Structure 1
């Protein structure tokens, strides 16, 4: 880490009182399981998801089912709402089974941050599924606030979930910073008025994260 980057990080950590963390792809190595769950359900109706396209269009940009249907002009014999419900059931099975692990340094990072900052998770996954994964990793105690899909009317890139997390933590948005790995999360953080640190990984190497306060190449 360069001296300049270190100084900027120190300044941000000193100013902010709380940290709001994304979950999938940042703390948990869960993105491949989201892909597997969606693909399993789509294949029931004759369509296979392209994995590389999924990482960009679904994971980072947040285009989701509607985007997939539009891009490929799909005529599926199923309502998108039911399609999503089926996916949730498949993915939740993975979460409960213990197959999904935290990244090796995720707990260490959270423990270090928790010394001087209140922590919250703000994710597009269901809170119960996040808890399954954290319980299996003996890490549930690190996060007093866990907000999932059900906690906001609009998903990222809308800022609602980050604003709700700040309120739960008892801090103004300007006193919180966000840790993210997705473009939709960066946009949501900026809309919420929160500085955003981006962690790169194997899935987002080619994404332009212009507007991020800091960008780290790995955890």
Structure 2
């Protein structure tokens, strides 16, 4: 496929932020003396905060506890960003440079909110590189619903089969499939499952490999 547009997930794909979220969740749970299983985090990688909070309302049994948990988590994330702990994923700069050289359009479609996306891009000096950003502020449902990717595709104006979604999660892959857009998985915290291997266009080790894939199909 000759790629005309690329839609980036953000957390775990562009930035090594899933680890920061996980560590922040653990710290919040310890501070509040709440039970917190690894499974809680893993099942919602790539999903929206609404889905996460709905689960926590049932798990924690209190809306006030959920709100406090999220507040403590976000404060920990803000502190980590302030202390320079947010790192780009290997190959991100090189991929973005290649896309710019080839005039290939790009967008971010993230289950996060615009304020947090802006914080991440500003902290990594990337705010000017993504004029098109679709966030949970823009759609009714997050991943695995296709809303984010459909909106990003419309904004880019590229054909679905010449557009590439880059994701790290099953929720993101399912969303891309539902939107009718080919998806490459670059794994982060979760190893690719058999379902991901069967349904993704490809599974690649890093964004360097994605750049080389796009080059080879130019």
**TMscore range, shorter length:** 0.7 to 0.9
Q: Say whether 1:91 aligns with 2:77.
A: yes
Q: Say whether 1:190 aligns with 2:177.
A: yes
Q: Say whether 1:159 aligns with 2:146.
A: yes
Root mean square deviation of aligned Cα: 2.6
Q: How far apart are the structure 2 equivalents of 1:91 and 1:39?
A: 12
Q: What's the counterpart of residue 36 of structure 2?
A: 49
TM-score by length of 2: 0.78
Q: State the 1:114 CA deviation.
A: 3.1
Structure 1 residues without counterparts, runs of 5 or longer: 1-11
Q: What's the counterpart of residue 213 of structure 1?
A: 201
Q: How far apart are the structure 2 equivalents of 1:126 and 1:85?
A: 14
Q: 1:147 to 1:82 in 2, by over 3 A?
A: farther
Q: What's the counterpart of residue 148 of structure 1?
A: 135
> Taking CA–CA contacts closer than 8 Å with sequence separation of 6 or more, which of the two structures ends up with the larger relative contact order?
2
Q: Say whether 1:111 aligns with 2:94.
A: no
Q: State the 1:143 CA deviation.
A: 1.6
Structure 2 residues without counterparts, runs of 5 or longer: 208-218
Equivalent position to 1:102, from 80, 88, 101: 88
Q: What's the counterpart of residue 125 of structure 1?
A: 112
Q: What's the counterpart of residue 25 of structure 2?
A: 38
Q: How far apart are the structure 2 equivalents of 1:80 and 1:128?
A: 20
Equivalent position to 1:138, from 97, 120, 125: 125
TM-score by length of 1: 0.78
